Amino acid sequence: MTIEKTMLGTQCIWGGEQTSLLQGATQVPVVHSVGFAYNDVDEWMQVALGEKPGHIYGRNTNPTVAVFEEKVRLLEGGAAATSASTGMGIISSTLFGLLRPGQRVVSIKDTYGGTSVVFTEFLERFNVNVTLCDTTDHQQIEAEIAKGCELVYLESPTNPTTKVLDIARLTQAAHNVGAIVVVDNTFATPINQRPLQLGADLVLHSATKFLGGHADALGGVVSGRKDLVDQIYHYREINGATLHPMAAYLLLRGMKTLNLRVRQQNENAMAVATFLESHAAIERVFYPGLESHSGHKVASKQMQGYGGMLSFSLKENSFDAIRRFIPRMQFAHAAANLGAVETTIGPPATTSHVECTPEQRAAFGIPEGLIRYSTGIENVEDLLADLDQALAIF
């Protein structure tokens, strides 16, 4: 049976690994070498021209990094994959590698904070026009796409209010005008959602989050159509935001348990969201698994699980209430990262949307009193008890 025919949990463990193993080792080697030597100039030339597999220089490719890319490629079902030093590294390489002056991008207001800075501040300098639509208004997004564009950039579920986009529907609209579709799949992971199977051309991740899962390595990765991935790789090899081999190794090690972790996080998040929804101190809970969530139907159609991310607002809607509440949490780091085995908690003002002004956050529909909760893999009984004791002050 080929690895392509196996299921995702098996691919998390075996995907990409076999070809890189050395001298009977069962684990992928961390190749720190910057240069790769050849016995004769002809072979060196063939590798340099891409006619023969091999590596030339660490900024371009590396054996450990290649295994990481191959594992993600398999899990997402793409034709090719390439990586970068961070999620933002792969997002900016994708946008700057594919777009040309005079082109137009249609996206949503709720993209990750750093992505929206690329849209609103940097792309404009290169005469790329970006239209950011209301994330919940599919008709408006379709109407903007129909006016003509080259790239449609989606993210679902979004950060931090877990809004859900109908990926197949918007992909259809994009392909009608010949635009390519890029989906940030960081929150869902391929365990819960596979955008390429829904028709998207490219899927990308901040591997720093769920893929790595242990909050100890930064990375980014994109997978999909080979002609597009090649252009992104070409930009990234020159801009130099290369994934470090040690980070690639940590991400690979983390990914072996991706299937188990994400399924546990799905379960824990559902229990936490249900608990918070009926708690007297809570105003509102945003989680796609809840029937009260506006994107629940679409999420049920396109996702295999609702993910580990949720957010909620306190009835006492002030930053001061958050200031008093968060330090009371015992089993949740007050930290900016997410998707790790430990639960993390924080307000968007200090995490995903720290780059934005309060006015911009308001325009993105993010209440200042919102709390983002990234569910870990702890025993859920303890997570519920922790929230309950911390909320007792209200």
Ligand X SMILES: *Cc1c(COP(=O)(O)O)cnc(C)c1O
The helix/strand/coil state of 265 is helix
Q: How far is the CB of 160 from ligand X (least distance, A)?
A: 9
Task: Please tell me whether residue 353 binds ligand X under the rule CB under 6 A.
Answer: no
Q: What is d(CA 375, CA 151) in angstroms, rounded to the nearest whole number?
A: 32
Task: Please tell me whether residue 164 binds ligand X under the rule CB under 6 A.
Answer: no
Residues in 89-118 that interact with ligand X by CB under 6 A:
112, 114
CA angle 334, 264, 372 (to 5 degrees): 30
Task: Please tell me whether residue 186 binds ligand X under the rule CB under 6 A.
Answer: yes
The token pair at 174 is 């994009």
109 labelled catalytic = no
Q: What is d(CA 28, CA 37) in angstroms, rounded to the nearest whole number?
A: 20
59 labelled catalytic = yes
Report in angstroms the alpha-carbon separations of 269 from 35, 53, 157, 377. 45, 43, 14, 10
Q: What is d(CA 117, CA 111) in angstroms, rounded to the nearest whole number?
A: 10
Per CB under 6 A, the segment of 146-154, 183-191, 275-283, 296-304 that binds ligand X is: 183-191
Residues in 324-343 that interact with ligand X by CB under 6 A:
none
Q: How far is the CB of 54 from ligand X (least distance, A)?
A: 29
Q: What is d(CA 216, CA 340) in angstroms, rounded to the nearest whole number?
A: 9
Q: How far is the CB of 187 from ligand X (least distance, A)?
A: 6
Please say whether the beta carbons of 266 and 224 come within 8 A.
no
Q: How far is the CB of 214 from ligand X (least distance, A)?
A: 14
Please say whether the beta carbons of 311 and 161 come within 8 A.
yes
Please say whether the beta carbons of 378 and 265 come within 8 A.
no
Q: Which residue is nearest to ligand X (CB)?
A: 87
57 labelled catalytic = no
Task: Please tell me whether residue 218 binds ligand X under the rule CB under 6 A.
Answer: yes
Q: Which of 166, 184, 201, 386 is catalytic?
A: 184
Q: How many residues does the chain have?
A: 394
Select the residue interacting with ligand X from 82, 86, 192, 311 (CB under 6 A): 86
Give the residue with the Cβ less far from ligand X, 255 or 321: 255
Question: In this structure, how many other beta carbons lie within 10 angstroms of the beta carbon of residue 147?
Answer: 10
Interface with ligand X: number of residues (CB under 6 A): 15
209 labelled catalytic = yes
Specify the pairing of strand 282-286 against strand 180-184.
unpaired
Residues in 219-278 that interact with ligand X by CB under 6 A:
220
Per CB under 6 A, the segment of 86-94, 168-176, 246-254, 354-362 that binds ligand X is: 86-94
Q: How far is the CB of 279 from ligand X (least distance, A)?
A: 26
Task: Please tell me whether residue 206 binds ligand X under the rule CB under 6 A.
Answer: yes
Give the residue with the Cβ less far from ligand X, 98 or 221: 221
Residues in 114-143 that interact with ligand X by CB under 6 A:
114
Query: Edge-to-edge, what's the strand order for the sheet holding 282-286?
Result: 282-286, 309-314, 370-374, 344-346, 333-334
Handedness of CA 347, 350, 351, 352 (dihedral sign): positive
What is the binding site for ligand X (CB under 6 A)? 86-88, 112, 114, 155, 159, 184, 186-187, 206, 208-209, 218, 220
Q: Which active-site residues does the annotation give?
A: 59, 112, 184, 209
